Amino acid sequence: MSVRTISAPKLVASVLPADFAELGRDVEQIDKAGIDRIQWDVMDGSFVPNLTFGPDVIAANRGRTPIGFEAHLMVDDPDPMLHRWVDAGCQIVIVHAEACRHLHRTLSHIRDLGALAGVALNPATPLDAVVNVLDVTDLLLVMTVNPGFGGQRYLADMEPKIAAARAEIDRRGLDIELEVDGGINTATIGAAAATGADVFCTGSALFSGPGSMSDRAHEMRTAATQRLVLR
Ligand code: DX5
């Protein structure tokens, strides 16, 4: 398998800071801002202290944009509902390694459903937790905050894990996107890119700050491009 070429960063918008009373409008705004993908932050109030939305909310917004959807399942025992996120229009389904009793089976099931399989690691979880499932993984999400809420500080001490993940993916020649999520803004995205991430999920820094959402997206994309490890 050849190493995936990386020529440009991908920006993913977390909907957590969106106006939940105007989600369709905000989805269209994200599209217009040139964002590559939307992350739906699914929280069950058990795996993480927060509670957000189910697949019906995602499905209701599917028609508002053609850009990709990823479901970030911050939920305990995601298996029973996996098909619902795909049916709702998500091309990528991301489960947490910490929430799956049989992670290899879960990731394989996501692929069998026709979606790309993603696995996320909380800050305390080592990369070792996923080295045996990377062959059935399409996206590795390294959390740079403890999940549950937006607007948190970027955890720079996750950078060695990002670098180790990049090294492992390249050593094995795997076609896996390496995404980071949490506290990503113009000041932190460059360091995350320099350590090997190529996909960047951002919420607060995209939805608020100087200029327009397009301006903020462009600024982050430029900062990531300048430090991205090309291959
Ligand atoms: C945290 C979520 C993140 C978060 C990102 O639990 O999974 O996607 O919303 O938001 P910011 O960019 O504000 O950290």
73 three-class SS: strand
User: What pLDDT does 1 receive?
Assistant: 45
What is the dihedral angle through the alpha carbons of 144, 148, 153, 159, rounded to the nearest 10 degrees?
Answer: -10
Q: Would you tell me how many other CB atoms lie within 10 Å of the CB of residue 136?
A: 17
For residue 229, CA distances in Å to 37, 111, 190 come to 21, 28, 10
Confidence of residue 3 (pLDDT cuts 50, 70, 90): low
3: left (phi over 0), alpha (psi -120 to 50) or beta: beta
- Going from the Cα of 183 to the center of ligand 1, the distance in angstroms, rounded, reads 7
182 marked among binding-site residues: yes
The C-alpha atoms of residue 162 and residue 168 are separated, in whole angstroms, by: 10
Confidence of residue 197 (pLDDT cuts 50, 70, 90): very high
Pocket of ligand 1 (CB under 6 A): 14, 16, 39, 41, 72, 145, 147-152, 181-184, 201-205
CA 123 to chain centre: 14
User: What pLDDT does 4 receive?
Assistant: 64
User: Relative to the CA of 202, which ligand 1 atom is closest?
Assistant: 12
Residue whose C-alpha is closest to residue 16's, from 151, 178, 200 = 151
At 117-146, the pLDDT tens digits run 999 999 999 999 999 999 999 999 999 999
Is the predicted pLDDT of residue 66 greater than 60, yes or no? yes
pTM metric for this prediction: 0.97
52, 152, 207, 220: residue to mutate for ligand 1 pocket, most atoms within 8 A of CB: 152
User: What pLDDT does 230 receive?
Assistant: 78
Return the bridge partners of 179, or none: 141, 199
Is the predicted pLDDT of residue 194 greater than 90, yes or no? yes
What integer is the mean pLDDT of 162-171?
97
Is the predicted pLDDT of residue 205 greater than 50, yes or no? yes
In the CATH hierarchy, which fold is given to the domain comprising 10-225? TIM Barrel (3.20.20)
150 marked among binding-site residues: yes
Is the predicted pLDDT of residue 2 greater than 80, yes or no? no
